[in-house]
Amino acid sequence: MLYPEINEARSVIDLSGPWYFRLDDGSHDEGKADSDFIGHDSLIAVPASYNDLKENPEYRKHYGWAYYRRTIIIPRALCSERIMLRFDAVTHYAKVYLDGELIAEHKGGFLPFEADITEKVKSGREAELIVAVDNRINHSTLPMGNEGGTAFFGSDNADVPSVIAAKKWRKPTNLPNFDFFNYAGINRPVRIYTTPKSYIDDITITTDIEGNDGVISFSVSAKGSGKTTVEIVDREGKRIAEAEGTEGVIRIKDAHLWWPYPGDPYLYKAVARHGDDVYSLEFGIRTAEVNGLDFLINGRPFYFKGFGKHEDTAIHGRGFDFVMDMKDVSMIHWMGANSFRTSHYPYAEEMYQLCDREGIVIIDETPAVGIGGTTEDIYKIGSFRKHHEDVIKDLIARDKNHPSVVMWSMGNEPDVVSYPDSAYEYWHSLYEYTKALDPAGRPVTFVCNQNNYERDRITREMDVVCINRYYGWYNLSGDMEAAAYALNMELDFWEEIGKPLIITEYGADTLPGFHLSSPEMFSEEFQILYYRTMNGEFDKRKFIIGEHPWNFADFSTIQGPMRADGNRKGLLTRDRRPKMAAHYFRKRWLAIPDFGYKR
Ligand code: BDP
């Protein structure tokens, strides 16, 4: 799906700002937006998560539907165009009404959807737009939750009669099966955009390198009559090639390749025209593939230095925050990192555009986190397969043209050992499905949790083995010698498997400013000891091709006895101040080359 663009043929109206808002009455049924709404509602910011915007605990712990309302009006000058209403992300389920008519419905909180409203809006007349948003998470949603449950990160399982009784008595909640706050609402921009009636629906660009030449394959999907052309424009704005038709191959002599920073992340533009419509798409010429134990970018072995991240900032919650995205990219450069994973859901499109331009490499993850946590086989009792396929399809459709995206992650930490055969069947077929969808054929993986790796049949089948490991934190806590011993035993196992491996998470909660002369857990000194020990072991193993500490920054979670104001494993605080370990990594990573490390 193309990102909304303003150019000589297209216009964009941004609907950011205050919208009327109300939480539902707690019945968990979608109420109808009615006249009763007016006068009983408050104002809320769009885009943003609603949870932290009001001094009312109901906003933070809300469970169910919420309603947003505003009016829209189309300027007369645009009324002869095709008019689209686009939502970049509504978390997690949206129903959109225009003048009382349901015009769009969408499941999944992190990908865009749109509705054609051309026939529904009349010049000079205001139309009422209502968006009903559901934040419930259960065994059919991604991320997965335990809607109706009451416990997480606690000792609620204790065999204490009074606790057992109180658990039954307690009100059910919208319980996550994942470790980040379930921020909800209209989290990303809402826009009206227009195109001519004959229009470009989609563009796909894939690239290859032959000698010094870049080979660009393009395909333009267009609706309505008109001639289709594509021009390639270089960074200086010079037209260097052109072709006619909806598909073709263009060869660029002595092409500039897209390299991760501090290399040159060179971007070209493909300017597609169809009839009166035009769309220009930035793209880079680069390849990304796995070969033996190497992850090759433009044929050279890349070492992933970076993070698991979150879209999480104070007040905004998971709401789009371009200022923070800029700051994050700056901090990534400052620390000498070159990559991150969009743990645990697709991020806002603007972040990928920024990373294309700034030369940061992305492992792009779906929102499939929390699959498991049940006493029965989740692959048999859950109804999420079709939705998982849909998010993979939509993710690839949205992000396929970004040079920054070098690998797809189908999900994070599903249960793959309780029912290894079911897990195998599920993830193996999804892997093949994902592979077949990407026109650029990027490597595909999923990220596995600390488990009985011998029973896990599926992680070893991924193009890159991606593992999250917390030796020395959740197990063998504080004993880094024992942690190194255990880590090495496991690494011997993976070395035998003979695939490249990225440590996609490892980390220790750390309270900034808490110092100890003897490094114990939660102190800044321990965080450094932890990473120094782990990294020392990674450095000895050639097949480890990347290290992503967890997490880039502290982030909000549900409350619980293991979470003091959220998850504190950040190398940065939530407001992006470096902990001591950030300086440690900066020194380490500035000394590790992006290409050829350990080769
Ligand atoms: C991992 C999860 C991540 C958590 C992390 C932690 O992938 O989402 O935040 O553990 O516990 O298992 O800090």
Domain boundary among 194, 218, 240: 194
Distance (Å, whole) CA 208 – CA 102: 44
Residue 313 in contact with ligand 1 by CB distance below 6 A: no
Strands, DSSP E only, in 427-558?
444-448, 465-468, 501-505, 544-547
Residue located nearest, by CA, to atom 9 of ligand 1: 179
Residues 262 and 135 in one domain: no
Cβ atoms of 19 and 70 closer than 8 Å:
yes
Distance (Å, whole) CA 74 – CA 127: 9
**Residue 489 CB neighbours (<10 A):** 10
Identify the domain containing residue 92 by its residue range: 11-194
Cα(2) to ligand 1 centroid in Å equals 32
In a domain, 532, yes or no: yes
Cα(527) to ligand 1 centroid in Å equals 16
Q: Indicate the residue type of 423.
A: A
Cβ atoms of 199 and 223 closer than 8 Å:
yes
Burial class from Cβ neighbours inside 10 Å (0-12, 13-18, 19+) for residue 154 reads middle
Interior/surface letters 93-129, b for 16+ CB within 10 angstroms, e for the rest = bbbbbbeeeeebebbbbbbbbbbebbeebeeeeebeb
Structure token pair of residue 30: 């979608």
Residue 409 in contact with ligand 1 by CB distance below 6 A: no
Q: What is the pLDDT of residues 254-291, one digit of tens each?
A: 999 999 999 999 999 999 999 999 999 999 999 999 99
Among the listed residues 15, 4, 13, the one whose alpha carbon sits nearest the alpha carbon of residue 77: 13
In a domain, 3, yes or no: no
In a domain, 6, yes or no: no
Distance (Å, whole) CA 65 – CA 53: 17
Q: Describe the crossing of helices 349-358 and 322-334 by its angle, rounded to 10 degrees.
A: 30
| pLDDT score at 533 | 98
In a domain, 599, yes or no: no
Domain boundary among 266, 286, 306: 286
Cβ atoms of 270 and 205 closer than 8 Å:
yes
Distance (Å, whole) CA 207 – CA 190: 32
Structural domains in the chain (count): 3
Instruction: Just list the catalytic residues.
Output: 413, 505
Distance (Å, whole) CA 69 – CA 489: 57
DSSP-assigned letters across all residues of 86-132: EES-EESEEEEEETTEEEEEEE-SSS-EEEE-TTT--TT--EEEEEE
Residue 446 in contact with ligand 1 by CB distance below 6 A: no
Residues 318 and 444 in one domain: yes
Residues 245 and 373 in one domain: no
Cis peptide before 47 (omega within 30 of 0): yes
| Atom number in ligand 1 closest to CA 343 | 8
| pLDDT score at 26 | 73
Q: How far is CA 294 from CA 340, 359, 374, 458, in A?
A: 18, 20, 37, 20
Cα(193) to ligand 1 centroid in Å equals 38
Residues 346 and 478 in one domain: yes
Residue 309 in contact with ligand 1 by CB distance below 6 A: no
Q: What CATH number does the domain containing 272 carry? A: 2.60.40.10
Q: How far is CA 332 from CA 124, 305, 339, 538, 576, in A?
A: 47, 10, 8, 21, 11
Residues 516 and 576 in one domain: yes
- Plot region of 298 (φ>0 → left; ψ -120 to 50 → alpha; else → beta): left
Q: What CATH number does the domain containing 147 carry? A: 2.60.120.260
Distance (Å, whole) CA 547 – CA 310: 17
Q: What are phi and psi of 206, to 5 degrees?
A: -125, 155
Q: What is the pLDDT of residues 521-557, one digit of tens each?
A: 999 999 999 999 999 999 999 999 999 999 999 999 9
Distance (Å, whole) CA 216 – CA 213: 10
Residues 148 and 263 in one domain: no
Domain boundary among 162, 194, 226: 194
Distance (Å, whole) CA 342 – CA 20: 31
Verdict on whether the full-model pTM lies above 0.85:
yes
Residues 258 and 381 in one domain: no
Residues 222 and 277 in one domain: yes
Residue located nearest, by CA, to atom 3 of ligand 1: 179
| pLDDT score at 67 | 93
CA angle 66, 71, 76 (to 5 degrees): 150
Residues 147 and 273 in one domain: no
- Plot region of 592 (φ>0 → left; ψ -120 to 50 → alpha; else → beta): beta
Cα(374) to ligand 1 centroid in Å equals 18
Residue 412 in contact with ligand 1 by CB distance below 6 A: yes
Strands, DSSP E only, in 40-92?
42-46, 65-72, 82-87, 90-91
In a domain, 330, yes or no: yes
| Atom number in ligand 1 closest to CA 569 | 13
In a domain, 5, yes or no: no
Distance (Å, whole) CA 471 – CA 484: 8
Distance (Å, whole) CA 476 – CA 564: 21
In a domain, 468, yes or no: yes
Average pLDDT by consecutive 10-residue portion of the chain (599 residues)? 98 97 82 60 94 95 93 93 98 95 97 97 88 96 88 64 86 92 98 98 98 98 97 98 98 98 98 98 98 98 98 98 98 98 98 98 98 92 95 98 98 96 97 98 97 96 98 98 98 98 98 98 98 98 98 96 95 98 98 97
In a domain, 424, yes or no: yes
DSSP-assigned letters across all residues of 266-302: --EEEEEEETTEEEEEEE----EEEETTEEEETTEEB
Residues 186 and 201 in one domain: no
Residues 261 and 341 in one domain: no
Q: Indicate the residue type of 344.
A: H
Cα(180) to ligand 1 centroid in Å equals 9
Residues 200 and 185 in one domain: no
Distance (Å, whole) CA 286 – CA 264: 12
| Atom number in ligand 1 closest to CA 474 | 11
Cβ atoms of 283 and 267 closer than 8 Å:
yes
Distance (Å, whole) CA 382 – CA 499: 31
Residue 509 in contact with ligand 1 by CB distance below 6 A: no
Residue 312 in contact with ligand 1 by CB distance below 6 A: no
Distance (Å, whole) CA 52 – CA 74: 32
Residue 569 in contact with ligand 1 by CB distance below 6 A: yes
Q: What are phi and psi of 358, to 5 degrees?
A: -95, 0
Distance (Å, whole) CA 558 – CA 561: 10
Distance (Å, whole) CA 539 – CA 467: 16
Strands, DSSP E only, in 139-256?
145-147, 174-176, 185-186, 190-195, 199-210, 213-223, 228-233, 239-244, 247-252
Cβ atoms of 273 and 229 closer than 8 Å:
yes
- Plot region of 237 (φ>0 → left; ψ -120 to 50 → alpha; else → beta): left
Cα(179) to ligand 1 centroid in Å equals 6
Query: Which of 567, 568, 571, when mutated, tests ligand 1's pocket best, judged by the most ligand atoms within 8 Å of its CB?
Result: 567
